[in-house]
């Protein structure tokens, strides 16, 4: 619920672990795997050094030097 509400605020942006490390590499996840456009369709300019961010309901390329919040997958913690 928190994540859904946060994503609806157009002033907030979140880095999703997607970037273009170098020219010709294409969009890549931080674990080194290439973006599968069949599973996660984005129409982003492949600019070297760009990071994929979510703002509102859009996924956009952004400057990786910006301070952004992160959305990432993490192992569950046993309580």
Put residue 24 in one of left, alpha, beta given phi > 0 → left and psi -120 to 50 → alpha: left
CB 19 within 8 A of CB 52: yes
User: What does pLDDT average to in each consecutive run of 10 residues of the chain (79 residues)?
Assistant: 63 79 88 84 80 78 72 64
* pTM score over 0.75: no
Domain boundaries, the chain: 1-63
pLDDT of residue 19: 87
Put residue 32 in one of left, alpha, beta given phi > 0 → left and psi -120 to 50 → alpha: left
pLDDT of residue 42: 72
pLDDT of residue 52: 84
Q: Domain 1-63 sits in which CATH superfamily?
A: Mannose-Binding Protein A, subunit A (3.10.100.10)
pLDDT of residue 1: 62
């Amino acid at each position: 619920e928190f994540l859904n509400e946060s994503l609806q605020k157009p002033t907030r942006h979140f880095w999703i672990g997607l970037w273009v490390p170098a020219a010709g590499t294409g969009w890549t996840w931080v674990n080194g795997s290439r973006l599968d456009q069949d599973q996660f369709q984005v129409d982003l300019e492949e600019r070297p050094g760009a990071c994929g961010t979510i703002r509102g309901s859009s996924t956009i390329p952004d400057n990786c030097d910006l301070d952004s919040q992160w959305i990432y997958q993490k192992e569950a913690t046993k309580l």
